């Protein structure tokens, strides 16, 4: 596209720890497309950005070609999530609207309306279920084949911040406003385990590649590894000075990228950290002064995609 | 981090508050205290809920003193009573509060400005703190509440201050400037008490829970 400027920077942003992240490519988007936050498909072939102008733009990656510009019409986009195969994009709004589009065709597949703002979305691997985390009220599990709610997923109080299906769809985890993480059977929403050890709210969760471990991070500035079967916290990765806002897992499941934010002001610069999940060690860390990362994902196992509020999509190689 | 708020003296903060609203009074709070002792029985409207925000932390210590000696910022006492919509006082309520310090920073490492506030046999509560600063990602100063009582819906809400400069002295018209503030009812008048050299803000905030 004529407004997309590509250039290779090939500079190391921060000294290597276990490994290093090298900036390979920057895609600068036009001012009207300033990206508030992104979702990156699990295979890294699509990037969806919730843009300042209210539209959701979908770029193919790593070409950077703009493929779709979608919207929720009457509400501000508050959540984005691709299905595991990248064939569906679910978009939630701040007044409860949810739309699911086929990607890359941009054909609208389904539209739902729920009460309260949509904070998080997850599509089951078989694409038959949609889980919706909502502000102030219980999360919902929807059957997309019938268009009906299977069940509510209530916390003791408040709503939920993040929701995720395990890679095989057998489990569904929900990070709730009461600081607990609840793990349900994926297809029924039956509660199977609760993590009560976390004192502060988690803003991000993701299952391990084998579905046995759940990683959670949030206001406690720590990534916690949780045993899915029991709900017990197995270990915590070294604490950072920033809160965790998002996760991305490499295709082989060996690297977990955590996106951080400054709890003293979300617009402040914050790091992106690549963790080795085998031992909880820090593989690499990027911190760019003046840059606030607002999305992260993987292209395969060694290429990390990040987005930032300064209208850039960045491609990093993990070396 | 540099914060210009840090340079304000208590007198300057007071000046700002006095300049921003007309509802302030220097009268003592005897009427408020008197009302505390009365058992209320009339039906009440539930307190509007307001979102929990990102920094709730469980395990806060039981105390009514959130303000440590020498803490900067305008001293604040918040008091009220916990009812249900039938007008019954809820002496069994568990009342959690948390807020930013006077600079707008939340303590995520410990429990500064976080407490489980005692509720007495009349459902009355009171705690001493400071007026919170403006958290950078919010428009208004606020105190978070979580109120739990057996047989009642949990109440998650926030207390706002009519003196907040954001309202420019007119919270009736300007409360909507904070996109998270949906009810004027949550903006409470601030009473200034004490002498000019030792001023303290007092706010009354009743809490009404819905029955399950």
Using the beta-carbon criterion (under 8 Å), do B57 and A158 form an inter-chain contact?
Answer: no
Mean pLDDT in residue range B61-77: 96
d(CA A283, CA A272): 11
Q: Indicate the pLDDT class of residue B5, thresholds 50, 70 and 90.
A: very low
Please write down the long-range contacts of B138-142, taking CB distance under 8 Å and 24 or more positions apart.
B138/B178, B138/B180, B139/B166, B139/B177, B139/B178, B139/B179, B139/B180, B139/B181, B140/B164, B140/B166, B140/B167, B140/B177, B140/B178, B140/B181, B141/B166, B142/B99
Residue A147 has pLDDT above 70, yes or no: yes
Which helix (H) or strand (E) is B16 found in, with range?
helix B10-20
Tokens 């006077």 belong to residue: B102
Could you tell me how many residues make up chain A?
A: 319
Q: Determine the pLDDT at residue A63.
A: 83
- Mutation choice for B interface testing from A116, A119, A136, A157 by most B CBs within 10 A: A157
Beta bridge partners of A148: A143
CATH of residue A202's domain is 2.130.10.10
Cβ-Cβ contacts under 8 Å between A and B: the total is 60
Question: A181 is in which domain, residue-wise?
Answer: 5-318
Of B56, B59, B136, the CB nearest to A201: B56
Q: In Å, how far is A117's CA from the nearest CA of chain B?
A: 11
Number of domains within chain A: 1
Of the listed ranges A111-120, A260-269, B12-21, the one predicted with least confidence = B12-21
Q: What six digits make up the tokens of B74?
A: 């305008």
- Mutation choice for A interface testing from B1, B3, B53, B58 by most A CBs within 10 A: B58
Give B86-116 pLDDT, tens digit per residue: 999 999 999 999 999 999 999 999 999 999 9
Interchain CB contact of B56 with A (< 8 Å): yes
Q: Determine the pLDDT at residue A313.
A: 81
Mean pLDDT of chain A: 89
Question: B98 is in which domain, residue-wise?
Answer: 4-209
Q: Indicate the pLDDT class of residue A252, thresholds 50, 70 and 90.
A: very high
Interchain CB contact of B110 with A (< 8 Å): no
Q: In Å, how far is A61's CA from the nearest CA of chain B?
A: 32
Cis peptide before B152 (omega within 30 of 0): no
Q: Indicate the pLDDT class of residue A292, thresholds 50, 70 and 90.
A: confident
ipTM: 0.88
Interchain CB contact of B137 with A (< 8 Å): yes
Interchain CB contact of B94 with A (< 8 Å): no
Q: Which residues of A touch B52 (CB under 8 A)?
A: 136, 157-159, 177
Interchain CB contact of B32 with A (< 8 Å): no
Using the beta-carbon criterion (under 8 Å), do B56 and A220 form an inter-chain contact?
Answer: no
Q: In Å, how far is A177's CA from the nearest CA of chain B?
A: 7
Q: Indicate the pLDDT class of residue B14, thresholds 50, 70 and 90.
A: very low
CA A283 centroid distance within chain: 20
Tokens 């046999």 belong to residue: B121
List A residues 151-190 in contact with B (Cβ-Cβ < 8 A): 156-159, 161, 177-179
Q: Are A303 and A250 in contact (CB under 8 A)?
A: no
Please state the pTM of the whole predicted model: 0.87
Q: Which residues of B touch A203 (CB under 8 A)?
A: 54
Number of domains within chain B: 1
Mean pLDDT in residue range A201-205: 97
CATH of residue B100's domain is 2.60.130.10
Residue B21 has pLDDT above 80, yes or no: no
Of A199, A201, A221, the CB nearest to B54: A201
Give B142-166 pLDDT, tens digit per residue: 999 999 999 999 999 999 999 999 9
Calculate the alpha carbon distances from B170 to A220, B86, B126 in Å: 37, 32, 27
Local structure of B174: helix, strand or coil:
helix
d(CA B58, CA A201): 9
- Mutation choice for B interface testing from A177, A202, A245 by most B CBs within 10 A: A177
Cis peptide before A62 (omega within 30 of 0): yes
Q: In Å, how far is B203's CA from the nearest CA of chain A?
A: 25
d(CA B49, CA B209): 10
């Amino acid at each position: 596209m004529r407004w997309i400027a590509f250039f290779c920077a090939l500079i190391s942003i921060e000294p290597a720890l276990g490994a290093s992240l090298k900036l390979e490519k920057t895609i600068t988007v036009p001012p009207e497309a300033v990206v508030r936050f992104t979702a990156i498909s699990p295979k890294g072939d699509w990037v969806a950005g919730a843009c300042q102008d209210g539209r959701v733009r979908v770029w193919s990656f790593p070409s950077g070609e703009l493929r779709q510009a979608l919207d929720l019409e009457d509400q501000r986009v508050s959540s984005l999530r691709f299905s595991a195969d990248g064939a569906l994009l679910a978009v939630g709004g701040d007044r409860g609207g949810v739309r699911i589009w086929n990607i890359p065709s941009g054909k609208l597949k389904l539209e739902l309306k729920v009460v309260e703002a949509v904070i998080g979305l997850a599509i089951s691997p078989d694409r038959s279920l949609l889980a919706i985390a909502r502000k102030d009220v219980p999360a919902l599990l929807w059957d997309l084949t019938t268009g009906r709610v299977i069940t509510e997923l209530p916390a003791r109080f408040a709503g939920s911040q993040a929701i995720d299906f395990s890679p095989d769809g057998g489990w569904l985890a929900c990070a709730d406003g009461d600081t607990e993480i609840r793990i349900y059977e994926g297809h029924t929403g039956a509660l199977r385990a609760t993590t009560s050890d976390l004192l502060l709210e988690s803003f991000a969760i993701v299952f391990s590649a084998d579905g046995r471990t759940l990683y959670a991070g949030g206001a406690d500035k720590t990534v916690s590894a949780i045993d899915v079967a029991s709900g017990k916290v197995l270990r915590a990765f070294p604490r950072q000075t920033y809160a965790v806002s998002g996760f991305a897992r490499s295709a082989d499941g060996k690297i977990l990228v955590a996106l951080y934010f400054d709890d003293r002001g979300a617009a402040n610069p914050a790091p992106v950290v690549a963790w080795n999940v085998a031992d909880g060690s820090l593989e690499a860390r990027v911190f760019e002064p003046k840059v606030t990362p607002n999305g992260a994902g993987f292209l395969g196992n060694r290429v990390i995609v990040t987005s930032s509020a300064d209208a850039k999509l960045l491609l990093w190689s993990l070396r | 981090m540099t914060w210009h708020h840090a340079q304000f003296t208590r007198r300057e903060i007071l000046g700002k508050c006095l300049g921003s609203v007309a509802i302030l009074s220097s009268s003592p709070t005897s009427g408020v205290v008197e009302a505390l002792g009365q058992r209320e029985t009339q039906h009440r409207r539930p307190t509007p809920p307001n979102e929990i925000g990102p920094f709730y932390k469980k395990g806060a210590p039981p105390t009514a003193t959130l303000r440590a000696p020498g803490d900067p910022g305008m001293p604040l006492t918040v008091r009220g009573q916990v009812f249900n919509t039938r007008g019954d006082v809820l002496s069994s309520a568990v009342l959690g509060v948390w807020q930013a310090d006077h600079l707008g920073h939340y303590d995520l490492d410990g429990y500064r400005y976080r407490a489980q506030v005692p509720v007495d046999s009349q459902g009355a509560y009171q705690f001493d703190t400071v007026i919170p600063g403006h958290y950078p990602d919010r428009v208004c100063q606020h105190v978070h509440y979580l109120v739990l009582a057996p047989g009642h819906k949990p109440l998650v809400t926030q207390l706002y201050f009519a003196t907040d400069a954001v309202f420019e002295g007119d919270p009736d018209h300007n409360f909507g400037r904070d996109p998270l503030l949906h009810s004027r009812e949550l903006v409470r008048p601030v009473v200034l008490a004490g002498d000019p050299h030792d001023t303290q803000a007092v706010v009354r905030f009743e809490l009404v829970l819905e029955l399950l």
